[in-house]
Amino acid sequence: MLETQIRARLENIKAAIIRACQASRRQLDEVQILAISKRQPIEVIQAAYNVGINTFGESYVQEALEKKHVFADIPNLHWEMVGHIQSRKARQVAENFDRIHSLDSLKLAERLSRLRPAQFKPLEAYLEVNLAEEESKGGFRAKSQQDWQNLLPVVETISQLPGIKLIGLMAMPPLFDDPQKSRPFFLSLRLLKNYLNEQAPTLNLTGISAGTSGDFEIAIEEGATVIRIGEAILGARDYSK
């Protein structure tokens, strides 16, 4: 039953991705789905894996580690951190995740780089930026042109850290009832990526982590390469635990 429900929701999301790619003349393989599994029980993750989902995004380190332990025997299951990373959790993140979407300070980058085990490949990271100066959201300031200029040397410094591989940018626009109102923010995110690459060609930022259940089609049209979808695929979260 769970598998049937998740498969149906996943097909709906894939159909919407096709529409967005056609509208923006992009290729389907340019867009990946990251299933946000925070507050989802083990049986839901298992069902999602059974229908072909093998990459999950988590917001809380301890919850993620418990799940990772349960699925330790599945070699092609990948865990990515999308939530804020506290300094005291940096070691656990550096040792247990394939990719993070919430790199929000130089201090955190340096700590993750130092704690990344030498036998692991560098931790892939999206730099989190705050496009609207919302106090409720983290990330580097990226609203004005001056913010962009200030960000450049920080990004260049992070790109030189041995344990970190900076692959792109992540942002969440303000919450709107009309997803079209998110478009200028997604456009700004793409333009910021282009700006950083032009100013520092060795960066080679290719990824844009943007778009959630309510606005991912607009995000794709404006360049998103990873969309973060939770309940629209996996169903309602369990907040009782």
CB contact at 8 A, 79 and 40: no
Residue 34's nearest CA partner among 223, 212, 214, 206 is 212
Could you give the 3-state DSSP secondary structure of residue 153? helix
**Residue 179, domain member (yes or no):** yes
**Residue 93, domain member (yes or no):** yes
**pLDDT surpasses 80 at 241:** no
For the stretch 130-153, pLDDT in tens is: 999 888 889 999 999 999 999 999
**Residue 240, domain member (yes or no):** no
Residue 174 tokens read as 């303000």
Task: Identify the CATH number of the domain in which residue 167 sits.
Answer: 3.20.20.10
**pLDDT surpasses 80 at 237:** yes
Residue 227's nearest CA partner among 210, 239, 214 is 210
Please state, for a pLDDT cut of 70, what percent of the chain lies above it: 99
For the stretch 181-228, pLDDT in tens is: 999 999 999 999 999 999 998 999 999 999 999 999 999 999 999 999
Q: In which domain, by residue range, is 24 found? A: 2-234
**Residue 239, domain member (yes or no):** no
Number of domains in the chain: 1
**Residue 63, domain member (yes or no):** yes
- Reading phi first (left if > 0) and then psi (alpha if -120 to 50, else beta), residue 143 is in alpha
**Residue 97, domain member (yes or no):** yes
String of DSSP letters for 120-147: SPPEEEEEEEESS--TTS-SEE-SSHHH
**pLDDT surpasses 90 at 75:** no
**Residue 241, domain member (yes or no):** no
Model pTM?
0.95
CB contact at 8 A, 85 and 100: yes
**Residue 119, domain member (yes or no):** yes
Cα angle 227-170-101, degrees, rounded to a multiple of 5: 85
